[in-house]
A = this chain, B = another copy of it.
Amino acid sequence: MSAYQYQIKNFPLDNDALLLQETLFHNANGYIGVRGNLEEGYPEGYRSIRGQYINGFYNNVDMPQAEKLYGLIEEKQTMVNVADTQSVRVYANGQEISMLDSRAGERARILDMESGVTERSFLYNDSDQKLRISITRMTSMEILPLFLIRYEVASENCSASLRFESLAKGDVMNFFDPSDPRVAGEACRHIVVKSAEHRDGITFITSETTKSGLQVTTAVKNVLSGESFRETIPEETQVTEKITADLAPGETVTFYKYAVFCDSRRYENTLESAEKIMKEVCALSPEVLYEQQKRYMKNFWESCAVDVQGDEDLNAALHYNLYQLIQSAGKDPRSNIAAKGLSGEGYEGHYFWDTEMYMQPFFTLTSREVAGNLIRYRYTILDQAKENARLLGHKKGAAYPWRTIMGKECSGFFPAGSAQYHISGDIAYSVAAYYLATKDLAMLEECGEEILIETARLWMDIGNYYEGKFRINTVTGPDEYTCLVNNNYYTNSVAKYNLYWAEKAYRLLENAGLQQRVIEKTGVTEEELQEFARASADMYLPYDEKLGINPQDDSFLQKAVWDISTITEEEKPILLHYHPMYIYRYQICKQADTVLAYFVLEDYQDEETMRRSFEYYEKVTTHDSSLSSCIFSIMASRLGFEDKALAYFGESAKMDLFNTHKNTKDGIHTANMGGTYMAVVYGFGGLRIKESGLSLAPHLPKTWEGYRFRILYEDSRMEIQVDRKQCRVKLMEGTEKKIRIYGEEYVLKDILTVEFENREIPA
């Protein structure tokens, strides 16, 4: 595998393999996402999750509760499958061409991460008449509404009469399984076509969501080199174009299908905008579009420059994951990063804490614009978070929804949903993290401090003092195998940090004379700020004297241990085979919880406590959540368990490519992808950015030759290269910086080299 290519050849054609490919080879740019479905469709009996999505474009769906209780959520938002512009059927001399046909061979699929395109090719061999098919797909990073298919038919040895049938189809539904009687197809019909028209050679399909009142226009234009005949067939909800051309021996016919998506959340007049953009796009040659994309990707790779030297497979997997992050991240404050990006319908396009704790760090360190928008997105939904807090009974503060698209809580099961109050602390944490990396006071003034104050207020209303300590009862931590507990170590830790920063950030603004806006918006008082600081200082963090570890919550250690080694393969993951309440009754963790707290807030405990806890929790963690391995890798690095760090990193890096969670068909695991990045930079690199400044403590797995990464810190960009001999930090732009490496302070002016010998942390 080349470091910037993911390719598969002569792969199996069974349905599971194709479903997985639909995810792995999807195209997205943070605004639109297109699953890697086959242009020619599938034979009878094949299941395909055929979808094109727009980030943040949603419908409202009834979600009745089995038993009505006050405050339980009964409507959710769901990401909508929009008009299908993928379909292109091609006929050579009247015979339909399909990759799934027995006449097709030499099949290959490639994700070219330097060009930012996917390619699919095969040789079509009908009675020794050979046609080479190449299909290139791109969602443009520069022109976000654009999805472009290039369909090439090259003759190797024959002439052929070609017919392209290109369909723009408005009558689409979200995925449902026709064999599953529990889900009616009608329930998955989220948009209806308002108009389908064809003029000036462009098809326009305008659709409206059934309940959320959103609109999207899809424009499609078909261009064929050597076109000899064209027929346009407009129907009520779709338009088909049939175009013919003749192919001479040794020559190539190229078909382009341009699709432009404009939705009413971003464009005032979706139809006019789609038309305008389509015309602008078509005025450019396709080569310009591909060139733009290449340039964008070049910048992207140069901005992060993450490489592992000595393990090319791992390196390629790492690049794959970073590529998916930039494909998934919303590029405006109206959207965020869904748990599955724009690659599938799993988790319904919802945004979770995954963004702040797993993905935002990547963007904070490499792309401030994206990172800033992620925070601004949370600010746009702050009012809804306040409403959500009221629904949950709180007289003050903001409770961010556990899962949402546009700000309303969409969780149907509150014990593993709204009860995860930590998400508000996570968002606060990310505001502080962004500030620490950027020192961007303007962002704090514009929205960050308001978020910090409203979330701090939430903790004040949730928690209560008992025996001199501030405690937080009846919440669920990150580990969903233990719900509705008291004093979850992770939750209390992020709450402590949240309360601290609400006060701290205010002082920073105050010192700069920038506090006025915050006072006006929040009405925060000096007394309240002091209460925040006091509660933070008094926060109860559970500690077990006997074991010398932090219990995950007050009662975790008194429960029976579920011996993980007794879980059979058929019982995995246990959440699909055991009643939640049964699971709650055991010491068994779905994912890093206390261990995650150690990573993000390492100064709250001494190293020995963290080491004992790590070893304790490792024994009871199933990693059934995709958010777990990466964190265990980071903490294994931190605590000197080098082999474990590498093993967990491998699990994290290859999760989707090897489909280890067996559900990648429903979409990629974006949080884990961000976690893979963190495992390199925070884990192996030992990077930390705190109030005390930036520090590094790199170590190098035995099987690697080296690794490097580039980061933004304050006004500077720097590259860190670690190899067997040394850790070299190079200032690429910006001013000099103090850096602590292995605990010693240096000043980075140009290039800084620290000998690596004997620095390896013992395994």
CA distance A13 to B63 in the complex (A): 39
CB-CB < 8 A to A438: which residues of B? none
Stretch with Cβ within 8 A of B (4 or more), from A16-24, A282-290, A386-394 = A386-394
- Tallying the copies of this chain within the complex gives 2
Query: Which residues of B sit under 8 angstroms from A412, Cβ to Cβ?
Result: 65-67
Say if the beta carbon of A466 comes within 8 Å of chain B: yes
Chain B residue, CB-CB nearest to A580: B69
Contact bitstring A415-432, B, C-beta under 8 A = 1, else 0:
101110000000000000
- A58-75 CB contact bits vs B (8 Å, 1 = yes)? 000001111101111110
Question: Chain B residues with Cβ under 8 A from A182's Cβ?
Answer: 64
Q: Which of A522-579 contact B (CB under 8 A)?
A: 554-555, 558-560, 575-579
Interface-lining segment among A141-149, A228-236, A581-589, A613-621: A581-589
Which residues of the other chain, B, contact A63 by a CB distance below 8 angstroms?
66-67
In the bound assembly, the distance between CA atoms of A486 and B411 in angstroms comes to: 25
Instruction: Decide: A66 and B69 in contact? CB cutoff 8 A.
Output: no
A474: contacting residue among B71, B74, B394, B584, CB under 8 A: B584
* A5 lies within 8 A of chain B by Cβ: no
* A99 contacts B by Cβ under 8 Å: no
For the complex, give the distance between the alpha carbons of A74 and B560 in Å: 29
Give A557's nearest chain B residue, CB to CB: B466
List chain B residues, Cβ under 8 A from A581: 392-393, 414, 418-419, 474, 484
Is A471 positioned at the interface, with any CB of B under 8 Å from its CB?
Answer: yes
B393 touches A578 (CB 8 A): yes
Instruction: Give Cα A558–Cα B540 distance, bound, in whole angstroms.
Output: 12
Q: Does A483 contact B (CB under 8 A)?
A: yes
Our pick among B391, B464, B466, B559 for the contact of A464 (Cβ within 8 Å) is B559
Tell which of B414, B579, B583 touches A391, judged by Cβ atoms closer than 8 Å.
Answer: B579
Q: Determine if A473 is an interface residue (Cβ-Cβ < 8 Å).
A: yes
- Indicate whether A413 reaches chain B with its CB closer than 8 angstroms: yes
Residues of A bordering B, CB below 8 Å: 63-67, 69-74, 182, 391-394, 411-415, 417-419, 462, 464, 466-467, 471, 473-474, 483-484, 486, 554-555, 558-560, 575-585
Q: List 30 A-B contacts (CB under 8 A).
A: A64-B64, A65-B412, A66-B66, A66-B74, A66-B412, A66-B413, A69-B413, A69-B579, A70-B575, A70-B577, A70-B579, A71-B579, A71-B580, A71-B582, A72-B579, A391-B579, A392-B581, A393-B578, A393-B583, A414-B580, A415-B415, A418-B581, A419-B581, A467-B558, A471-B558, A474-B559, A484-B581, A484-B584, A554-B554, A554-B555
Ranked nearest first, the 6 interchain pairs of A and B with the lowest CB-CB distance are: A66-B412, A393-B582, A71-B579, A67-B412, A464-B560, A67-B413
